[in-house]
Amino acid sequence: MKTSLTAALALFVIATAKPGTAAHPSPVGIAAAPAFASNIETQPDINGCNWHAKFVRTLVAETNGLVLEMSDDEMAKAPRKVKVTVTRLFAPRLGGQKRRLAYKLEFMQDGKLVALRQIEDRTLRDNEPVCGLMGALATNLAKDTAEWLTLNRLPDCGPQCTGLHPREPIAIGAQPLFPSGDFVKSLGKCDWLTSVMPDLSETLNDESEDRMKDKEPTGAGLLPITTKIAQEDIVDYKGRRLVLRFDKLNLKPANPQDNASTDLTAELHDGPMLVAARRFSNDTSFHGSTLCKTMARLGDRAMGDVVKWLMKDPGLPANWQQ
């Protein structure tokens, strides 16, 4: 049984990798019963299987009580809660087809949407009882969710935060940020410097459109992604933005035998909230190359890493420091 995750922006605030040390001491509520998307058809063969109850019980156990099952009244009063919606429930009636289960998780903090996540699992139907298969899918999803929670520090929606704006276009700068202005001057004649961000924007938009056509789960609540080039300095932009910064550049090593290398930091912000971040390192041989060609080769690899990251499972590492 193979689990496929396309995940989310983030679920809730955890200050370190251990569930018991969250920045907000209040537990995270989850209801006993999920909501169902409007397009979900009734599946008579799984009625009474209690597969979602297994998801809740497993998630509570795997997070050491950070997530707690709550009644409707308790959910209404809880400052932090996860709303669960079943977005895909496919019970095949023909041999060889896949049984699939997908949840959309919406984390609310003080009434504001702080994070989205889409999780999915699938399996080929075999001779096992259908309730056992659905229970196994739900259990796998709960374990994946709990593991993700314990390995990530997720966004904190402070007093100035208005929550996530998943339909707002993501702004990117006209150029990546570099360690110093002098370095940008040395790349001034490189075509890559002026083409990289428009190319990245087009790639993100096209990849998002293709995934939506294929009805892929909305990865981390980001899809569909639309991007735009910010007219102002991206650092001063107040809305939803992707900040790309080269922290280290060694394009012409002193020792010709050493590889040229770069470190790129990608940060996804929504207003004052840091939603996700990741660092990408790449290296390549400089021998026989030019500065512009080396920058283009390493830069394109870094941008490819950014696209894969945004489409798959962006998050905020537990030990992340800005």
Residues of the chain with pLDDT under 70: 1-25, 42, 91-98, 124-127, 148-155, 181-184, 211-224, 288, 313, 316-322
Token pair 């999780």: residue: 119
CA dihedral 125, 131, 134, 139 (to 10 degrees): -130
The C-alpha atoms of residue 2 and residue 217 are separated, in whole angstroms, by: 16
What pLDDT does 154 receive?
63
* φ and ψ of 61, to 5 deg: -70, -45
Take residue 31 and report the two structure tokens written for it: 């209801």
Domain 2-151 and domain 170-312 have a common topology: yes
What is the secondary structure of 35-64 as a DSSP string?
A: EE-TTPPP-GGGTT--HHHHHHHHHHHHTT
The C-alpha atoms of residue 222 and residue 117 are separated, in whole angstroms, by: 9
CATH topology for 170-312 is Rossmann fold (3.40.50)
What pLDDT does 58 receive?
95
Token pair 């997070």: residue: 63
Cα–Cα distances in angstroms (integers) from residue 29 to residues 5, 87, 149, in the given order? 22, 20, 14
Residue 160: count of CB within 10 angstroms of its CB:
8
User: What are the sequence ranges of the domains in the chain?
Assistant: 2-151, 170-312
Q: How far is CA 192 from the centre of its chain?
A: 28
- Helix, strand, coil share of the chain (percent; to 5): 30, 30, 40
CATH topology for 2-151 is Rossmann fold (3.40.50)
Count Cβ atoms within 10 A of the Cβ of residue 255 and give its class: 0-12 exposed, 13-18 middle, 19 or more buried. Answer: exposed
Half-sphere exposure of 187 (CA within 13 A, CB side): 26
